[in-house]
Structure 1
Amino acid sequence: MVFCCGYRKVWVWLTVMALVCVSTIVGLWVYQLTSFPPPTEPWDRHRLPDTLVPDHYYVTLWPRLEPDATGTYVFTGKSSVRFRSLRDTSLIILHCKQLKLTTMDKHLARLTAISGTAPEIRKTWLHVPMQYLVIQLNGVLKTGQDYKLYTEFEGELSDDLEGLYRSEYYEDGLQKVVATSQMHPTHARKTFPCFDEPAMKAVFHITVLHKRGTVALSNGKELAVVDTIVGGQAVTQTTFEQTKKMSTYLLALVVSDYSNVTSQNGSTLIRIWARKSAISGGQGDYALNVTVPVLKFFEDYYSIPYPLTKSDQIALPDFYFGAMENWGLVTYREANLLYDPVVSSNRNKETTATIIAHELAHMWFGNLVTLKWWNEVWLNEGFASYVSYLGADNAEPTWNVKDLIVLDDVHRVFAVDALASSHPLSSKEDEIQRPEQISELFDAISYSKGASVLRMLSDFLTEPVFIQGLKTYLNDFAYSNTESSDLWDHLQQAVEKTGTSLPARVHDIMNRWVLQMGFPVVFIDTATGTVSQQHFLLDPDSVVDRPSDFNYQWIVPIRWMEFGGTNTVSWLLEKHAVHSEMKTSGQQWLLANVNVTGYYRVNYDTANWDKILTQLRSDHKVIPVINRAQLVDDAFNLARAKMVPMSVALNTTTYLTHEREYMPWESTLNNLDYLYLMFDGTDVYGLMQLYLKKQVEPLYAYFKEITLDWSKVPDGHTEQYLQVNALRVACSTGVDGCQNLTSTWFSQWMAQPQNNIIDPNLRATVYCSAVASGGEEEWNFGWQMFKNAPIAIEANKLMSSLACTKNTTLLNRYLSYTLNANKIRKQDATSVIVSIASNVEGQTLAWDFVRTNWEYMFTEFGVGSFSFASLISGVTASFTTQAELDQLVEFKEQNADIGFGSGTTALEQALERTRANIRWVAENQDEIRDWFVQHT
C-alpha cells in the first residue's frame, strides 16, 4: 500500500505529517498502558483467541448502486466460513463491525459441523467495543474437527472510504456510482463477519450480485457471469475462481460500468480498468505497458512465477490511500494509475511507474508471504518501497530512478527518525493491539526507513547475496506467515553459502537498525583517523526516554573515498574506534557514505569540511552527484542539531550557481523550505529571496537557452525536474521575465481554453505563478478548468494552484468549498486546506477556518475523509510566535469536550513544535540574517 503524495513543494508538509504519525504511535502506546484495565473475558481482548483457524470463506455480496426509499445506499450479503478447532472450546469469536446481522433461530448465526453434529448455540451478540461477533455454545467444538458458521447481513454502502464503500463521479453529464473496497488493514470485518487478522489466512469463494450493465471484479478471474432474478429484481451474478490462501485484508471487490485495456504476460491476463472515457482516451495504456515488464522483472527477481491467473489494476475516483495491493485486483487513486502524455507530467509518469512497481512487488512479498502481525508492517512496506525503484528502473532504464530513493525516502525519513519521539521499525506484538494503533504504523518510518535500511542491507551483502536469501525465504514460507527473524535466517544462510565476509551475523547487525529507533551520526576526524558514532537528534536538548538494549549503538558500514580514490567499505563496531586509513593530509579530503548507501549522517572535522567546500566551489563534479545532495542535507541538519555552525550549512549552497544537476538543487530547496517556514514575515525572508534569486538566475538562463526560450523539453528525466525547479524558484524570487512568461502562457490558455500550450511538466508551476499574480478572473478560470479537467492528474495541479492566490476573499471561498463534497472530494479536503495554509496570505485564514469549523469537521467527517493529524500539523507548521502558541493553547481548551480524535497527539506535537520553533528562531535569527546580508 502507498499513501497519496503531492508535488515536491509539499515536502516539508509531508515531513511534518510523518512527525505527527510518530508522535501519535507513541501516544497510543502510552494510552493503551494507562487507559484500559486488564481484560477479564476473551471478548474483551483485542486479539482473537488462538482456538480456531479458518480455511475457506463462501461469500455472496450484493451492493446496491441506487439509494433505497430513505436515500441510503446499502449492500446485503451472506457468508459461510469453514474453520477448524485447534483445541476444545465452547466459544466462537470473529470480527464484525457496523453490520446488521439477520436473526436465524433466535441467533445471529447458524453453526453446522462438516461431519457429525455441532453443539447448539446458547447465546450470540455483537460486542461493539472490540468489533466482535461472539457466539457462546452449549457444547464443545472438538479439537481437530471442522465446522461452518453461516451469517446473513446488511451494511451501509457509505462514502467513508472503508470496507465496502461508494464512490461517485460524473461522465457524459450523468452521475455514476462505483461500489469498491478497502479492507486494509482492519476493514474486512465491516464487509462480512470474518477472522480479520493477517495470520488467519484462508481461501475465498466470492460471488457478487450486481446491477445489469455493470461489471464485477474481485481477486480471482470471473468463472461465470449470468443474468438472473433475485428477489424480483433483474441482476447479474458473477462468480469468481477461488483465491489462493490469503489474509482478509487483501480481499477486493469492485462493481462499476468501467472498461479496460488488456495484455498478456505469459499465461497471466493483465487488465487496466478505469472510467470508459479514460480508457477510450488512452489513459490506461502507459500503466499497461509498464505492468508487463515490471511483472517479468519481479518473476525473475523472486525466481517465482506470478502466483495468479490475472492481474487487474483499477483507477478509482475516491480512494483515501495512493494504492492498495489487493491480490489480483490492485486499487489506485486515478491520478496514480492513469497517464495522458498530453496532460501528464514527467513526474506523473514516474509516480505511475513506481507505484505500480510498489504494489506488484507486494504480490510476492506481503501477499504470498505475509507477516504474522502488524507490529512488523515495516518489512512489507519498506521492502516494497525499496524494490519499487528496481522495478521502475527495469521498466524505464534511462531514468536512473534508483538514485532518487535518497531524496524521496532517506532524506525524508531522517527528519522523522531524528526525533526523541521516534519509534523502532519493529514493535513488540503486544504493543500493537487496537485498529487505530495498527493504522498509525503506516508512517514514514515503516515505508521510508524500512526501504533505506533494506537498501543498506542489500549494499553491504551485495545484491546477488541479498536476492539469494530472499528467494529461499519466499519459497519456504509461501502461503504462510513470518516475522523478520525468518528473513534474517535466510540471508545468513546465503552469506554462509557464498562465503561473504561480515563483521557479525545478519541478525546482530540488523537488530541494531530494526529494534531501536533513530540512527547514528558518524563523526570522522581526518587528522587522527578517529571515527565515532552517536544517536543523532535534531534537538540536542531533547530527552530520549525509550530504553534500548543496544544503548543506541549501531554496527555501521562506512563506504568512503578520498579525492581521486575508489570507494572502500569499513565497519564501525563500537562507539569510538581509530581507522588510520581515514587520516588525510594536505589538501586531500575524505568523503563518507558514498552514494548514501548507509542509513546515517556524517560529520567531519572543520578542516575536512573546509576542503570539501573548497572542492565544491572549484570543481563540484569531482564529488558524486548523490553526495553533493547529501552534503547539503547533512550540513543543514547538523547545524539544526548544533553540531556545526549554521554558516557551514549555508556555505554548501554557494556553489549552486554552477550546479546543473537536480538532486543537489532539490536537497537545497527542501532544506531552505524550513528556513522559509521559520522566517516568514521577518526581514530574513526578504534577504533569503534576494540570495536565492542570485543563485537561481544562472540556472534559469541555462534552461532558457537549452530549451530554445522554453519551447522544448530537456532530454534527461531529472533534467526535466530541474527545469521545473528553475522556473518555480525564478518566478517566486522575482527573476526578470519569469512572471511575465508564466502569465502570458496562462493568458493564452484563458483566451483559448481548448488549446492549452503549457508543457505538462511546467503546468503546476505556471498555474500557481499565474494565479498568484492574477486576480479573480484567473482564479475563476482555474476553478472552471479544475471542475472540467479530463483527468485527475490535471485536476490535482489546478486544485493545488488555486491555493496560490494572494486574494484573501478567494482563499476564504476556497476554504468553504472543502466542506462541500460536490466541490472538493472528501479525499482532497485536507490537502486543500494545508495548501492554503502554506500560502503566506492564507496561513492565518486556514488556521482560523479550522478553529471555526472544528466541531463540524470532527463530527461530520470520518477518518477516511479528513486526516485530523495532518490537518492540525499542516496549518500550524509555520508557527513561530508566542501569539500563535497562545492560540493553540486556547484551541485545545475550547475543544476539549468535542475532542480531537486522531489529531489528539498531533495537537500536542504542534504545541511542542511551536515552542521549539520559538526557541530556534530566537537562537539563530541573527546569525542567519548576517550570513544572508554578507552574501547578497
Structure 2
Amino acid sequence: MPLIQSVAIRDDWFADEYQPTLNTSTYLLAFVVSQFSSLSGLDSKGRNFTIWARPDLIGAAEYALNVGKCIINFFEEYFELDYPLEKTASKRSLGELVLRGPSVRQLGGLRDDRSAILFPDFKDMLAVPNFAAGAMENWGLLIYREATLIWDPLVGTEGARQKVATVISHEIAHQNGFFAAATLIWDPLVGTEGARQKVATVISHEIAHQDEQFAVLQLQKVLLSDSLATTHPVFMPVYHPDEINEIFDTISYNKVITVSPNNALLHSEFPENGASILRMMEAFLGRETFRQGLKIYLARHKFKNTESIHLWDALTEVIALFPYKSTSSTWNIPLTYAAASEDVKVAENRIIWMNNASMELELQIPENEWYTFNLRQTGFYRVNYDIQNWHRFIECLHSNHSIFTRLTRAQLIDDSFNIANQGSISFDLFLNLTKYLRKERDFVPLSVAYRAFNYLYEMLVLHETHDLMKKYVRYLINDSYQTVNWSMETNNDNHVLNLARQTIVTLACEAEHDDCVTKARTLFEEFMKNPKSDIIPTSLSRTVYCTAVRWGGAKEWEFLYKLRRQVLHEDEKYQIIEALGCTRDFGRLRLFIKELITEAEMELPTSLSGSPIALYLLWDTIKSEWANRTVRFLGCIHLDFQLREMYDSLKEEPERQTARSIARILVQCIRDKYWLSKYRGVIYNWLRRENL
C-alpha cells in the first residue's frame, strides 16, 4: 500500500507508516526476512513488478518477470477489474517496509537487500529454497518454490518453462483483484485451487496450445483418479486439519477450471478436478457468456466471503437457463457429438443434456460413417463406442490419421486404453489402435501414448511381456525418432515442437532403442569431461542422464551424485535425482533410497516405480522408516507377501496417515494384482501374434 509518512528514528533507521491494507484473509499475510537480491521491471501501465531470489539465481528471473507482467495485464483486461494493490509511493521502501535500517539498500532495477523485512510492492514474487508448498498466494507477495518461479534458458527444460508460466498464472489468479471473493471453507468451484488452475491454463493457451494440453495432462489424469473407489466429490466438507491435505489432490485440482485468451476457462483451488468442471461449463455456456458471468461475480463479491450459489446466481444473470444452481454431487452432463461429414464447429453448439444415470438417443448418422462424442473433450466423461465405430476409427487412423485433430487422436488413445483397462472393450482393440502411432509426430497424442505405455511397463515389469512391449514401442517410435535432431535446440521459439522431440526421444530410450541409448551415453561421456558445457540439449537432459546411469556403471552414477550437490537450479537437481533412481546397482540404490527417505523435504523420484529392484528396496526401506517419516509411496508392490506386509504395516500405523490415503494405496495395489491376472496373458498373446 502507498506510504503515508516516513519518520527518522536514529542514525539510518526509519519507521514507515502505510495506508491500511485492503480486506483480506489473515492467512494471506506474509513477512519475509532474507538476504535475497531482486530484479524489477515496469509493466505496460508503469507499475513496478519485482522478483526476489538467492543472489546466485536472480540472473535467471527474467522469464518469470516478463510472464508475471503479461499475466497481470491479461487478467485486468479479461475481468475488466484493476489490480487492487497500488504502486508504492516511496522510492526508498519495498512495499510496506515496517522498519528500515542501514542494512536495506535499493540499487535501482537490481536491488541487494540484506535482512530486509518485506511487505509487497505492486507485485512481488519470491523464490524460496525447499518451500513446503508448490507456491502460496500471499497478499501481493507471492511465494514459490525455486523450481516454480526460476527458469534459466541455459539449463531449463521446456516442461519446466511451461510449469513456471502455469504456476505464476495460478498464483496471480488467487489475488483478490481477480478472485476478490474469499470463499467459505473449501468451497470447490469458486474457491481457490480449481478455479485458479483453470485461469492458469487459459493464460498460457496462446503460447503452447494449452487447452489441448489441459485435456491430456490434467482432465484425463483426473478422470483416472475419479474412477477409483477412493474418489470424492468436488465439494468435500472437512472436519479436521489432517483432512485438508487429503482433499488437495488430483480430484481437487483438476476437476474444477482455467482461463486463456482464446479459451477462457476458470479453474478453482481444487484445480484439476474442479478445473475440468469449469472448462466444461465454459464450453456449453460459450466463452463470452462465461466471462460476463465471472465479471459480475467478482465485481459483486469483491473482498467478501462467497459460496458456489453466488457464482450460479451471477451466471444465471447472463443466461437464464443455467443448469446448475446447487452444490449437489450429481451434475447434468452436456453431450456433444458429430458425424464424419459434419462441421465440428457447428456441431459443438448442439448439446444434449443427460440428466439421468442412463438415457437412449437415436442419432441420424450416415451409414458406414464414424461419429465422435465429447467434442474437444470438454465434457467430464469418457466415451465408449460400439465395436463397429471403434473399427472405423482404427481404419481411418491407419489410412490418414490427420483427418482427426490431434486432440481427438489423443482422446481416442486415452479413452480406448482406460476403457480396456476397465474391461468394457478388449485390450486387442486398444493395441490395434496404437499401431497408427508409427506415423504420429505431434506432442499431444504422443504424450497420451507415453503415459499408457509407461503404465504397461510398470505393470509388466516382473514378466516377460515387459520386454515384448518395449520391442513393440521401438517399432512404433522408430520412424519418428529418425526425424529428431539431437543437436542443441533448433526450435527455441516453438515450445510444442521441443516438447514433441523430448517425448519421442524419451519413448525411444526407455524402450531401449539402440541408437537412442548409444547417443545418450556418448553425450553423457562428453558431458563428464566438461560439466560446464552445453553439449546435452536441455529438453533431453533428464532422458540422457537416466539412460547413461541405467546402462553405465559406478562412474556415471558417482558423477551425477556429486553434481546434484553443486547445481543451483531446483529443477536441474530434480532431474538428477530422477536419473540416480534409474541405476540397476543394488547397493547404490539401497543407500540412495535410504538417503531420500531420511531427507524430509525430498519426494521419491518416479523412476523408482519402473524398476523391480527399486520397488523391492523401496518397500524394504520404508518398512524400517515407516514410523518416523511420511513417505509418498510411488509404486505398488505386486508380490503377495509384500502386499500383506503393507496391509499389516498400515493397520499398525493408523495415525500416520489419514484413512483415505491408506485406502488409496491398498486399493491401487489390489487393483494392480487383479489387472495382471486378467490382462497380462491377453497382451502377451497379442504381441506374439504381431511377431514381437
Q: TM-score, normalised by structure 2?
A: 0.86
Q: Aligned runs of 1:17-166 on 2, under 5 Å? A: none
**1:676 maps onto 2:462 in alignment:** no
Task: Quote how far apart the aligned CAs of 1:313 are.
Answer: 0.3
SS in 2 for 1:902: coil
Aligned to 1:515: 328
Q: 1:902: Cα distance to partner?
A: 2.2
User: CA distance change for structure 1 residues 235 and 256 in 2, over 3 Å: closer, same or farther?
Assistant: farther
Structure 1 residue 849 and structure 2 residue 621: aligned?
A: yes
CA distance in 1, matches of 2:17, 2:617: 52
- CA 1:807 to 1:583, structure 2 compared with 1: closer, same or farther past 3 Å? same
Residue 241 of structure 1 deviates from its aligned partner by: 4.7
The residue number in structure 2 matching 1:534 is: none
Aligned counterpart, 2:584: 806
Percent pairwise identity: 29
Count of aligned pairs: 631
CA shift at 1:907, angstroms? 3.1
> Structure 1 residues 240, 748: closer, same or farther in 2, change over 3 A?
farther
1:930 matched to 2:688? The reply is: no
Quote the offset at 1:783 in angstroms. 1.6
SS, match of residue 478 in structure 1: coil
CA drift at 1:926: 1.5
| CA offset digits 1:80-111 (Å, max 9, x no partner) | xxxxxxxxxxxxxxxxxxxxxxxxxxxxxxxx
CA offset digits 1:147-172 (Å, max 9, x no partner):
xxxxxxxxxxxxxxxxxxxxxxxxxx
Whether 2:362 is the aligned partner of 1:583: answer no
**Matching of residue 412 in structure 1 with residue 221 in structure 2:** yes
**1:437-491, Cα deviation, whole Å (9 max, x unpaired):** 2232222112100111101111111111011111111111111011011101110
Residue in 2 that maps onto 1:815: 593
Q: 2:301 aligns with which of 477, 486, 498?
A: 477
What residue in structure 1 maps to residue 638 of structure 2?
Answer: 880
Match status 1:724 vs 2:537: no
Deviation of residue 389 (structure 1)?
1.6
3-state SS of the aligned residue for 1:561? strand
Higher percent of residues as helix:
2
Deviations 1:188-236 (A, max 9, x none): xxxxxxxxxxxxxxxxxxxxxxxxxxxxxxxx56777889799xxx998
Q: 1:408 to 1:681 in 2, by over 3 A?
A: same
CA distance in 2, matches of 1:319, 1:239: 30
Contact 2:183/2:190 (<8 A) preserved = no
1:345-494 to 2 correspondence within 5 Å? 345-364=157-176, 368-376=180-188, 379-393=191-205, 397-427=206-236, 431-449=237-255, 450-494=274-318
Is residue 409 of structure 2 the alignment partner of residue 628 of structure 1?
Answer: yes
Q: Of 70, 79, 91, which residue of structure 2 is paired with 1:293?
A: 70
Deviation, structure 1 residue 766: 0.7
Scaled by the length of structure 1, the TM-score of the pair is: 0.65
CA-to-aligned-CA distance 1:2-21 (integer Å, 9 cap, x gap): xxxxxxxxxxxxxxxxxxxx
Residue 741 in 1 paired to residue 519 in 2?
Answer: yes
Alignment of 1:513-552 (within 5 A): 515-516=328-329
| Residue in structure 2 matching 1:302, options 56, 68, 79 | 79
Alpha carbons 1:789, 1:795 under 8 Å: kept: yes
Give the residue type in structure 2 aligned to 1:301: Y
In 2, the alpha carbon distance for the partners of 1:595 and 1:710 equals 35
Q: Which of 56, 77, 83 is matched with 1:277 structurally?
A: 56
Quote how far apart the aligned CAs of 1:573 are.
3.1
* Residue 789 (str. 1) matches residue 563 (str. 2): no
Structure 1 residue corresponding to 2:535, chosen from 744, 757, 762: 757
Q: 1:634 to 1:224 in 2, by over 3 A?
A: farther
The Cα shift of 1:402 comes to 2.5
Q: Which of the two has higher C-alpha Rg?
A: 1
Larger proportion of strand: 1
Please give the alpha-carbon distance, in whole angstroms, between the structure 1 residues aligned to 2:488 and 2:472: 28
Gap regions ≥5 residues in structure 1: 1-219, 497-503, 517-549, 858-865
Q: Is the 8 A contact 2:636 2:665 kept in 1?
A: no
Can you list the C-alpha shifts for 1:870-899, whole angstroms capped at 9, x where unaligned?
Answer: x23x1xx33223222222234346xx2x55
Match for 2:141 among 329, 333, 336? 329
Give the letter aligned to residue 506 of structure 1.
Answer: P
Distance in 2, Cα, partners of 1:772 & 1:235: 58
Match in the other structure for 1:342: 154
Q: Which residue of 2 aligns with 1:827?
A: 601
* Residue 564 (structure 1) aligned to one of 341, 345, 368: 341
The Cα offsets for residues 407-449 of structure 1, whole Å up to 9 and x where unpaired, read as: 221001001111233211113xxx4222222232222112100
The residue aligned with 1:909 is: 664
Q: Which of 379, 404, 421 is matched with 1:598 structurally? A: 379
Asked whether the 8 Å contact 1:358–1:388 carries over to 2, the reply is yes
State the secondary structure of the residue aligned to 1:374. Answer: coil
**Distance (Å, rounded) in 1 between the aligned partners of 2:655 and 2:607:** 21
Q: Is the 8 A contact 1:364 1:474 kept in 2?
A: no
The letter for the 2-side match of 1:827 is E
Q: Distance in 1 between matches of 2:364 and 2:457?
A: 37
Flag the 1:505–1:733 CA change in 2: closer, same or farther, 3 A: closer
Indicate which of 39, 42, 49 corresponds to 1:261. 39
State the distance in 1 between where 2:322 and 2:648 align.
Answer: 53
- Please give the per-residue CA displacement for 1:533-571, whole angstroms capped at 9, x wherever unaligned: xxxxxxxxxxxxxxxxx5xxx422222222232121231
Q: Does the CA contact (< 8 Å) of 1:592 and 1:602 recur in 2? A: yes
Q: Structure 2 CA distance, aligned partners of 1:329 and 1:831? A: 30
1:609 matches 2:390: yes
| Inter-partner Cα distance in structure 2 for 1:385 and 1:671 | 24
**DSSP 3-state at the match of 2:204:** helix
SS across alignment from 2:490: coil
Opposite residue 460 of structure 2, the aligned amino acid is F
Structure-1 separation of matches of 2:542 and 2:277: 33
**Aligned partner letter, 1:687:** L
**Code of the aligned partner of 1:303:** E
Mapped partners of 2:650, 2:362: distance in 1: 56
* More moved, 307-316 vs 240-249: 240-249
Partner SS, residue 23 of structure 2: coil
2:611 paired residue number? 839
How far apart, in 1, do the equivalents of 2:4 and 2:577 lie?
A: 42
Q: Is the 8 A contact 1:837 1:846 kept in 2?
A: no
Distance change >3 Å, CA 301–CA 439, structure 1 → 2: same
RMSD over equivalenced CA pairs, Å: 2.4
Secondary structure at the counterpart of residue 423 of structure 2: coil
1:687 counterpart = 2:460: no
In 2, Cα distance between equivalents of 1:652 and 1:379: 40
Question: How far apart, CA to CA, are the structure 2 residues paired with 1:238 and 1:794?
Answer: 40
Other structure's SS at 2:302 match = coil
Q: Tell me which amino acid in the other structure corresponds to 1:583.
A: I
Matched ranges for 1:771-790 at <5 A: 771-790=549-568
**Cα distance change, pair 358–889 in 1 and its aligned pair in 2 (3 A):** closer
Residues 258 and 273, structure 1, Cα contact 8 Å, conserved in 2: yes
Return the alpha-carbon distance in structure 2 between the equivalents of residues 562 and 353 of structure 1.
Answer: 37
Q: Distance in 1 between matches of 2:283 and 2:159?
A: 27
Q: What is the one-letter code of the residue matched to 2:620?
A: D
